[in-house]
Structure formats: C-alpha cells, structure tokens
Structure 1
Amino acid sequence: MTHGKVWASVVMAVGLGITSAPIAMAQGSQENTVPPTMVILDASGSMEQADAGGKTRMDAAKEAAHTFLDGVSDDSELGFITYGTGTSNAPEEREAGCKDVTTLAPLASGQVDDIRGEVDDIEASGYTPMGPALRQAADELPDEGARNVVLVSDGLDTCAPPPVCDVAKELHEQGIDLIINTVGFLVDDEARTELECIAEAGGGRYLDANDADSLAESMRVLHTRSINAYETDLEEYEGSDSETTPTEIPADVDTFSSPLHYSGAALNSINGDAQHWRVPVEEGERLAISALTVQPPSFGGLTDNRYGMSLEFDDSSCLGDTWSQVEPNSAQGTQTAAGITKITGEDCGADGYVDFSISRRGNFLKGQDIPLELKITRFAGEDTSDVPDPEEESEVPEIEIPDDTVTAQPGTWFDDAAELPDGNEQGVSADIVPGETHFYKVPVEYGQRLAAAIATEGTDVEGGRGISVDRLDIKVYNEARQPAMNSEGITLETESSTTFGHAAPLNYRNIEDGTVPTRMLFQDGAQYISVNYKRLSGSDNEEVGDGEQHTARYSLAAVAEGEPQPGPTFREKSSDSPDAAGANEPSDSSDPATESVDAAASSEGMGVTTWALIALAVLVIAGIVGGFIAKTRKTGTK
C-alpha cells in the first residue's frame, strides 16, 4: 500500500466514519449519520521532503486526498483547510506564516469535484500554524450537534504560543460534540507526543502512520461515528391480555407495532402471560406471521438478561409450523418469533378469523416493555402443480469475498436494506459499532439459494474486564420477515471468512414437504441479511448513547446460487381482502430492487377473469376517448 493510500485510509477512518458512496440501489431515504467534518491538511515546508517511496510527502498527500474523496458520498458535509501555502518558512516570514491558513472548501455537501481541483493546486512551502487552523476549522462547523475535525500533519506546531494542545482543549470544552482527531505521518517522537496531546485534549484519537505496513489493518477500523438505529413508526395495535377478546387487526393492515409487555415469567416457564391478536381470513388463505423486537441498541448485560419469546396459534388445527429465533442469553439485536398456518377452510379459520398470541419470558429489561413490529403475509389460493419436488439439505456453496470491496451504506431495517452487488464480482465492507444492526438484501428466485461469506477485520473496542462475547451475529430472513437460516456467530478475532446461507434451494413446497432445516425456505424475492455487533459483559445492559462509538469492520459478499425453477401461482386479489401474497406479493412495493420480480410474478398469478376485466376497461376507456375526440372535431367544424 502506498503512503498516499495509507493516508486516505487514515483520514477516512478517523475523520468520516466511512462517508460512503452507497452500494447498488441503496435506499435514497437512508440518512447520512456521519457528522460534519473539516479536514486540515498540512502543507508546510517539511511536506516537500521525499518519503521512503521516493515521492514528496505532499505528492503522497494529494494522492491520499483523491483516494479519500473517491469514498465520500454526495450527502456528506465536508470541508477542507490547509496551511503553509502562502509564505516560505524563512524566519522573516514567521508572522505572516503563522496566519497562513486557507479554507480550500467551506463545509458543504456535493462538492467533491471542486475539492479535487483545489487539492491539486496546493504547493507546500511555509509554517505550521496548527492552533489557528483548528480555530478556523471550528468556526466553519455548526455551533451545535456532533462535528468532527481531522488534523493531518508531519511535524510540530511552529507557531506557539498558545500551545496547540491548549487550543484543542478550549475548542472541545466549548462543545462536547466537537471531536478533534489527529494523524501523524512519518513523525518523530516529539511531534507524535504533540499530536497525541491534541487528540486527547480534543476528545478524539491519534493515529500514527509512520509504519504503513503495520497500520494497514488497524487504520481501517480506527474511526468513530454515531450509531445508526431504527425506530418503528408503524400504527400500533397493542396485543390484548385476554384470549377471549383479542385485538383485531383490520384486513388491509399487514404491518403494525405493539409493545411487548414484561410478564415476569421465568425463562423455563411453559405457560406465562401472553398477548393476543385476531386476523380476518378468507377460505383458501395461508398466513405467515412474524414478530420482531426493535429495542434500542445495547451492550453488556450478563446480569439478569435471560430472554425468551414465542408465537402460538390459539387453534391447534391452524398450526403449520412455528419458529423462535431468540438468543436466550441476550436479547440484543433483533429477536424473532414466527409462525405459518395451514390453509384456512373447514378446520382452520372456519369462523373467518385466525387468532395468535406472543409470550415473553425471562428478566431481560425487567419491568419494561419491548417494542415489536409484526408482519402478516397472505398466500391465497396457492397452486403448486408446476413446482418441482424440494431438494434436501446440503452444504452451503463456498464463495470467496473479492479482494476489492466497495464501502457499504447498510440499512437499519428491512425497509431501507441496501441491496448487495453480485458477490462473484463485488463485495462490500462496512464499519459497525457495538449494539448496532445492519440490513442488506439479495434477490433470490425459486430454485436458487443464498450463499454468502463474511470476514471480520478486528476492532479497536477495548476488551475490558468480564467480556464473554464480542462477535458479529448474522441472520437471514425472507420477505415475510421470517427466519430463513439459523443464526451464525463469528468472533472478531476469526481470521478466515465464514460461509452462511440457505440450507437448500427455495421451494414453496418446503412448507409441507421440507425437513426441519428446509421448511423455512418457502418464499422467493428479497432475502435479508442482518449483521449485529453483539457485546456481552458482566455489567448491566446499557443502551448505546448518542456519542461517538468505536468500531469493528467486516467484509461481506453474497450470491444467488443455482438455476431458477417454477414457483407457485396464487389467486388474484379479492375486492375486500389484502393482496394475495407469496410469489406475487410486492411486500415492499416501493422497493426498486424487487419491483421487476414482483411485477413478473404478479402477472403469472393473475387469472383469465382479471385479464378479461382489464381488456374490457381498456375498451371502455378507448370508446369514451374516441367519442370525445369525434364530438370535439364535429363541434370545431360548425
């Protein structure tokens, strides 16, 4: 790795927390959570020295700036400052040189190309006024909220007093959300000590780029940023405490929220308090119901953190299958209870309703409600006559993560999950903080299976006393938001990549004919991958705050492996019930990643009657338009 690329990684890692260009089809609604950042680039006379690679340090810095800017998203608020370009470093020019600070680009978004041109024109020559540069950077940033300064230098401040550490402390104390980070490039011990002092006084971190080879791994993970967290805003239908008077969900509601009450039941209790709902159904429907926790990100919590959650159908004749993907030792991340019914008819739903309940057990978040999001997916009038026999469980095909990865902008939930590129051609990398969960999606057709690989690149989070778990937890869901794989956990020290994915190709007949590992693999469309940074320790469970958090880094690649096969068809939408679901349900109709798949599947599921009605409507409209045009022409000739 060249010093230029090393510097780019340093600046990007410490300063911007991966202000990434979104990967393919990342949601436009994804908010940029990286704080406004001013980068200060040293252009003093010492930057004209040649480094070990034969380039001047200034040339390496310019190369670094270009590499750095390649990874900056359009919505990132970024500014650039330099010093030392307007004078020489001769003694007689010291007074002017210590005021020689230039804002190349004021803080703004969408100005990457402008900054490139300004950086190319820099010529190093003068003094090193770090204190004035820090003040100017602080003045360029907003007065409130998280904001970031990154100072990159190869030497000592040559314009004290006041000491630059005092300046950094003063600025940081003016607003605790102002963080000052520093990077030292080929610095001696004296300069390193000063830059470390600046970072400590400024509430930030120092990164030493003196040894490029040894830092190549660590500089990718040594950055700070705010946590990205999801909060549900769905309409609430709180589950009833009474089995005889369950909360009824309107037929046109497929996603909703509810608080999940603390029941006080022990984790090993068979029976406990439950919350109850009722769903209207039509004959010939099959329901897939999922409930997922969305509690705030947290870590720690080995004390009283046992947790359990399950879903049950009140009428046993409706039971097709249920799944509970819950971590009994911790409810960090997303926990899921899910179930699927038999086809409604004489036995199940004969009165026009299906009732279900969710139970919570254990002492995690004792006495507190946990927010739930629930999703109901309807499969109506299924026809599987063209669907081949399902395949048995087999090893997930091995895939390799490409050497070159793009920086991901992962989602925080299913609704804004970022679509992964074809893993045969491109992988992604992302940084994650303890307690955070990332969401991605991969379109997979019937007959195909998801095959993915993830590799960790370490963390700068200090181990601390009593840490028992420090890992990434990976889960896979289908469009019904039901588990499609047993969860996979990998420690941050794992050197090799870990393969995960579907136990067999997707096949709707797995609902009835699949084995225990494959019965979850019944729905095509988007398959969602969640990555959670789980951290357990002997401390109480702590909610992650709004401040800066240190990160771990991982790389991820995924493919849809295998050849597509025919899927089921479903009856058309009835006049007074929700959309028929499954292969023809556009569960995220506004999602461009699945629109084409959903449209094709919807066409396949539409019956002759529907097409006849559409054709009739077209003829009627054509007749009206034709009559209007004829009348207009006749009137115009009078």
Structure 2
Amino acid sequence: MPLLVPVLVSVPGPAGAAAAGPVDGLRDSPPAYRTAVGAQPVQGTQRPSGAPRIEPGTYTDTLARGDEKHYAVRLDGKSSAYFSAVAAPRPGSEVADHTDSLKVSLRDADGNACSPGGSTAFHGRGMAYPIADYATRRADGPRTNCQKAGAYYFVVKRAGKTSAPGADRWPVELRFQREPGLTGTPPAQPAPGTWSTATPAPLTGGKKKDAGGGTGFNDAGPIGKGVWQDRIRPGETRFYRVPVDWGQQLSVSVELPGGTLAGGEATVRGQGPVAGSRLVASALGLGVYNPARGPVSDTRFIAYDGKPAAARIATAPVDYGNRYNATAPVSAMRFAGSYYLAVSLHPDAAKYFENGTPITLRVDPAGRPQRGPDYREHTTDFSVSPQQRAAADDGMTTQQVASSSRMRVLGYGSISTGTVLLLALGVWAVAARWRVGGARGQR
C-alpha cells in the first residue's frame, strides 16, 4: 500500500554550494526539546503500588535505560482517554536504532492491558530526536474490563541494552487527554474504497511563505495549506502543526535543495574521513503525529547525495470511524485537530550543509471540512477552530492572531474616534465663523 511511505525523489531546484565538515565541528548545538509551560514534574514508580496519580494535563519525568514507570489514573465509563509519552534525548546523544525504544501501555487495576499499546524506536542511523507514542482507552473498546469507571495505570518503559553507549537519562513528557463520549450511535468504519490510497502530487504554485518550526509539540510552528520555507541545521528536528478537520486528507512533502560536497571528502560520524563518499544514507526524516501525539507515521529517513530530494507522506481522511480500523496509520486519523510534522536533518548531512540549509514544505490538507460527530461536551483538543485556521494560514500562533485582531479593533476604534473629532472640529469651526459673521453684522 503506497500510503505513508516517504520516498526519495529528484525535485526541481537550484543547486547550492555548502562547505563540508565533520559533525563535531558544528558551531552551535541544535536546541533541545521544550516542554509545555506549566508541565508538572512527577516521579513514576517501578511498580503500581505508590504510583503518583495524574489528571488530564501535561507532566515531566526522566527515564534511564531499562526503566518502567507507573502512573495512576482514574477513568470514567463514558469517555475515551489518551496517554502519550515523548522521549527527548538531547541532540547529539548516542542512540541505537531499533534497540533504543519507548513503549507505552494502559493497564487495569489487575494488570491487564487495555489496548495493544504503542512502541516506537529510532530509525535515523544513530541520530537522537524526539520520539513519541500513546496508549488508548476507547469508550466503546472491545475489552470490557477496561470500560468500567475506576483505577488504571499508565505505564512507560524505555527499552535498550543497559551496557550500550548513551545510557544517560532521557527527559520524558507525559500527557493525559480525555475525549468526550458521543450522543447517539458512533459513526461506522469507512467502507473500503471510499478514499484513494495513492500518494497525491505535491502542492505547487503560490509564493513561499515563511514558517518557524519549533523544538517539539508545544512550540510547533503553525502552518496551513500552501508552500512554506524554513531553515534547519544538521542534528536538528523541527516541528510544525497543521489544522486538519473532519473529512480532510493531509499530504506533505519536505524538500532538500541541491548541495555540493566540498573537497570530495566527507567525515562520517564514528568512521572518520571517507574519501569520495557522497551518500548520506539517512539524511532527511519526516514523521506525522495526530492531536493525541500518536504516530500516524514514524519518522523515516531518506538518503541524499547532493541532488534535490524530498520525503513525502499522505494520510487517510480524518474520520471518527477510523479508530475501528486495524491498520495503525489509518486508525490514528481518528479525530480533527492539530496534526504535527517532525522534520529531522541527520548530523552527517553537515558534509553538505555545515551551516544549515533551507527546506521547502508543501502542505495540503485536501478536501472540504465536514461536520464531525456530536460530542457530549465541547473539546478543544479534537476540533479545529477559526482561530487555528487563521493562525495556520498566516504562520502565526493563535496568540499572535488574537493580538492582531485586537490591534485591528484598536485601529478601527482610533479611526472612528479621529473621524468624530474631525467632524466635531469642523462643526466648531463653522459655528465659530457663523458667530463672528453674525457679530460683524450687528455692528
């Protein structure tokens, strides 16, 4: 199935020269993941007994290799719940592909799993970047032991060989989100063949708009439909948020320009000089996450050899019934809201882009927004507001949009006030001339 497969392709674009150099020679280290403002520190326990209780919100903890931590939660019997964990080793940390991983699960009071749980690992040939996954409790899930109100445990595990390099502690961000139940019968799973699984052609045309990627989910730069440009450094991961409404299907392309390998010699981390080596086997990574921070597509990397190249991903249309689909990338497209793009540039790409490189993002949330399901309560996490759309269209945060709106209101108010003052002055001047003229006539 061609859905959700990043591919290496040649794309039109000007070739640009960049100085080569070892990764260790980078002038500045890429910024670390920024946790949410107001996130509460918490210390999970190795066993269920004594586990700290968490409520809907965001928390921070750390994980050593081999740690399995428990957090107590209480769930009602009417709503769905999502528990995500983001592991964020600092850029430049040593990680082992496929071995170093993050595993999450939700268990009932007796230790029974409520869902298959999530597991995500690194795929960037030793590059450290944020990885995330989630565990779920569906209100209409198949396991009756998990539909009751009561005590549950969110479990987060860092897997890997304890003797391997990079055994330092990882910062981890935890998030508990609640999805309200529905009024009436839940929508059914979309029938096969109701949408195309073919990867659409990238969006073209229009002037490039400036985007500002963030370090993670909390400061992700808002972007919407259109062609965007940003800049990324070797070893860096930049996050963007895209509002995707019910019925919309997201298509994304991220492009690297052409680059020149200076001196005909590259320095590959851990291997030293490699004469004439042009290929960076895992240069550009692209991943997509849903509003609950669940992976729609794990971050997968494409190769680069100096020619323009692109990573592309297309998703299923957003539909409530997707949660009943056994295919994980389709199941993840289960609600509207902010979807996240994670773009990574491997440290070894420094042999082409020592000081960073521009990237082009082509973003297309295709399709007319449709009416979503009838939730029992309003939910901001799983919906798209007019303010979010406006922010994405202009590449601004919702706070900037609100501030801009206030300034426009003040501006209109100032214009109105100025107009009234001018009219008043005009009336006063006419009246003054009339009084002077009348006084002269009486002389």
Distance 2:120 2:204 in 1: 27
Give the 3 Å change call, closer, same or farther, for CA 383–435 of structure 1 in structure 2.
farther
Distance 1:489 1:289 in 2: 26
Distance 2:154 2:291 in 1: 20
Alignment of 1:179-198 (within 5 A): none
Q: 1:562 maps to what in 2? A: 367
Q: 1:180 maps to what in 2? A: none
User: Which of 276, 282, 287 does residue 81 from structure 2 map onto?
Assistant: 287
Structure 1 or 2: more strand by fraction: 2
Distance 1:333 1:286 in 2: 29
- Shift of residue 414, structure 1, vs aligned partner: 2.0
Give the 3 Å change call, closer, same or farther, for CA 403–566 of structure 1 in structure 2.
closer
- Shift of residue 396, structure 1, vs aligned partner: 2.6
- Shift of residue 422, structure 1, vs aligned partner: 2.1
Q: 2:318 maps to what in 1? A: 506
Structure 1 or 2: more helix by fraction: 1
Matched to 2:313, the amino acid is F
Q: 2:233 maps to what in 1? A: 433
Q: 1:347 maps to what in 2? A: 145
Structure 2 residue 118 is matched with structure 1 residue 323: yes
Give the 3 Å change call, closer, same or farther, for CA 562–286 of structure 1 in structure 2.
same
CA contact (8 A) 1:441 1:528 kept: yes
Which secondary structure state, in structure 1, belongs to the residue aligned with residue 118 of structure 2? strand
User: Which of 580, 583, 604 does residue 382 from structure 2 map onto?
Assistant: 583
Q: 2:43 maps to what in 1? A: 238
Distance 1:404 1:585 in 2: 25
Structure ID, larger Rg: 1
Distance 1:303 1:484 in 2: 22
User: Which of 550, 572, 581 does residue 377 from structure 2 map onto?
Assistant: 572
- Shift of residue 499, structure 1, vs aligned partner: 2.5
Q: 2:342 maps to what in 1? A: 530
Distance 2:88 2:60 in 1: 10
**223-232 or 370-379, larger mean C-alpha shift:** 223-232
Give the 3 Å change call, closer, same or farther, for CA 390–461 of structure 1 in structure 2.
farther
Which secondary structure state, in structure 2, belongs to the residue aligned with residue 291 of structure 1? strand
Q: 2:106 maps to what in 1? A: 313
Structure 2 residue 282 is matched with structure 1 residue 483: no
Matched to 1:558, the amino acid is V
Which secondary structure state, in structure 2, belongs to the residue aligned with residue 414 of structure 1? coil
CA contact (8 A) 1:451 1:558 kept: yes
Give the 3 Å change call, closer, same or farther, for CA 380–406 of structure 1 in structure 2.
closer
- Shift of residue 245, structure 1, vs aligned partner: 2.6
CA contact (8 A) 2:285 2:311 kept: no
Distance 1:287 1:478 in 2: 14
Alignment of 1:111-510 (within 5 A): 217-218=15-16, 227-232=30-35, 234-249=39-54, 251=55, 253-263=56-66, 273-298=67-92, 301=94, 306-315=99-108, 319-327=114-122, 330=126, 332-343=128-139, 347-348=145-146, 350=148, 352-363=150-161, 366-383=166-183, 385=185, 387=187, 389-390=189-190, 392=192, 394-402=197-205, 404-423=207-226, 427-458=227-258, 463-465=266-268, 466=271, 469-493=281-305, 495-502=308-315, 504-510=316-322
- Sequence identity (%): 22
Per-residue deviation, residues 397-448 of structure 1 (Å, max 9, x unmatched):
222444752343222222222222422xxx1222211221111122111111
Per-residue deviation, residues 2-30 of structure 1 (Å, max 9, x unmatched):
xxxxxxxxxxxxxxxxxxxxxxxxxxxxx
- Shift of residue 241, structure 1, vs aligned partner: 1.0
Larger RCO, structure (CA 8 Å, separation 6 or more)? 2
Unaligned runs of 5+ in 1: 1-214, 264-272, 538-543, 574-579, 597-638
Distance 2:348 2:100 in 1: 14
Distance 1:340 1:303 in 2: 27
Per-residue deviation, residues 448-486 of structure 1 (Å, max 9, x unmatched):
111111211145787314386441111111221111224
Aligned length: 349
Q: CA RMSD in A?
A: 3.7
CA contact (8 A) 2:323 2:331 kept: yes
CA contact (8 A) 1:224 1:551 kept: no
CA contact (8 A) 1:470 1:492 kept: yes
Which secondary structure state, in structure 2, belongs to the residue aligned with residue 530 of structure 1? strand
Matched to 1:291, the amino acid is A
Give the 3 Å change call, closer, same or farther, for CA 534–496 of structure 1 in structure 2.
closer
Q: 1:550 maps to what in 2? A: 355
Per-residue deviation, residues 61-84 of structure 1 (Å, max 9, x unmatched):
xxxxxxxxxxxxxxxxxxxxxxxx
Per-residue deviation, residues 286-319 of structure 1 (Å, max 9, x unmatched):
11111111221117x4779941221122237662
Matched to 1:353, the amino acid is A
- Shift of residue 520, structure 1, vs aligned partner: 1.1
Distance 1:384 1:455 in 2: 45
- Shift of residue 384, structure 1, vs aligned partner: 6.7
- TM-score normalized by structure 1? 0.48
Give the 3 Å change call, closer, same or farther, for CA 459–341 of structure 1 in structure 2.
farther
Distance 1:530 1:274 in 2: 26
- Shift of residue 216, structure 1, vs aligned partner: 5.8
Per-residue deviation, residues 81-121 of structure 1 (Å, max 9, x unmatched):
xxxxxxxxxxxxxxxxxxxxxxxxxxxxxxxxxxxxxxxxx
Matched to 1:335, the amino acid is I
Give the 3 Å change call, closer, same or farther, for CA 566–444 of structure 1 in structure 2.
same
Matched to 2:320, the amino acid is Y
Give the 3 Å change call, closer, same or farther, for CA 355–302 of structure 1 in structure 2.
closer
Unaligned runs of 5+ in 2: 1-12, 21-25, 275-279, 400-443
Which secondary structure state, in structure 2, belongs to the residue aligned with residue 497 of structure 1? strand
CA contact (8 A) 1:471 1:533 kept: yes
